[in-house]
Amino acid sequence: MVHFREIERIAYALQKRLTFANVRKWHYTRVLQELHRILEPQQYFEIGVRRGHSLTLAQCPAIGVDPAYDLLQEPRADTVLFRQTSDDFFASPQLATALGGRRIDLAFIDGWHNSEFVIRDFMNTEPHCSRYGAIVIDDVLPRTSDQAVRKPHGRAWTGDVWKAADCLIRHRPDLQLTFVECLPTGLLVVQGLDPANTSLRTRYDEIEADLVSPHGSLMPPRAYRKLFRSPAVALARIRSLRASRGGELA
């Protein structure tokens, strides 16, 4: 008898294989694979581990945070996992301790899908990142209004993560943002990180009030959707931005 988790693993692998056949519609894990290749991180950090599909792409020491992770395969031996919410995790010095003086070169935020949570995850991660690093945010392109509601409902759910991306556009013009059109619901790659920048933290109460307001639009506007680029174009931009900051490239 085939175990349910084995069926899930096979189904996920098949989904990726079918996705990879169409270069215009890459699966987000393929984009992450390319980011690992381009950025060559020496330290990886992930919020929202779940089954470990993205965590196990790391070819370097990794730290993962998720209150209910259930990995389908074993990660590398130098992976450290924390079974906590990201808010609880950041409330203590655990990240600095786990890093042991190292800096994060690539981070992936795929935790709770409410925009204020994403902003908190971003502003708590950036201070630990390297100058050449990148923070990737998942689920920034809802396909339907049903996906974009703030409460999970048992079906495909992005929440209002896109509003966190819009917040970075408005409140952190110093950042270099690359929006990637990929399946299932897009990625945002953030470069030009400034670990010393405190503008989000300073204005967080105001930002949160704006993000949780019931009067905002459920779906992103047309101008926002036009920011997304094909994976090939987006990755070329990411590589160029990395080079412009003096980072070594493969």
Residues 139, 186: contact at Cβ < 8 Å?
A: yes
Dist CA 124 CA 142 (whole Å):
24
Distance of alpha carbon 110 from alpha carbon 66, whole angstroms: 10
How much is the pLDDT for 15? 52
Q: What is the pTM of this model?
A: 0.90
State which amino acid sits at residue 127: P
Whether 89 has a pLDDT exceeding 90, the answer reads yes
pLDDT in tens, 28-39: 999 999 999 999
pLDDT tens for 9-56 read 554 555 545 444 444 689 999 999 999 999 999 999 999 999 999 999
pLDDT, position 249: 40
Report pLDDT digits (tens) over 183-197.
999 999 999 999 999
Q: Which fold has domain 23-244?
A: Rossmann fold (3.40.50)
First-residue to last-residue Cα distance in the chain: 45
Q: How far apart are CA 200 and CA 83, in angstroms?
A: 26
Q: pLDDT tens digit string along 93-137? A: 999 999 999 999 999 999 999 999 999 999 999 999 999 999 999
Residue 45 sits at φ, ψ, to 5 deg, of: -135, 135
Domain chopping of the chain, boundaries = 23-244
pLDDT of residue 97: 96
- CA 238 and chain centroid, separation: 15
Give the whole-number percent of the chain exceeding pLDDT 70.
88
SS3 call for 82: strand
Q: Residue 149 gets which letter from DSSP?
A: S
Instruction: In whole angstroms, give the CA distance from residue 244 to residue 191.
Output: 11
Give the pLDDT score at 248: 47
230's tokens: 């094909």
How far apart (Å, rounded) are the C-alpha atoms in residues 144 and 157? 9
Distance (Å, whole) CA 18 – CA 25: 10
Q: Higher model confidence: residue 2 or residue 243?
A: 243
pLDDT (0 to 100) of residue 93: 96
Mean pLDDT of all residues belonging to the chain = 91
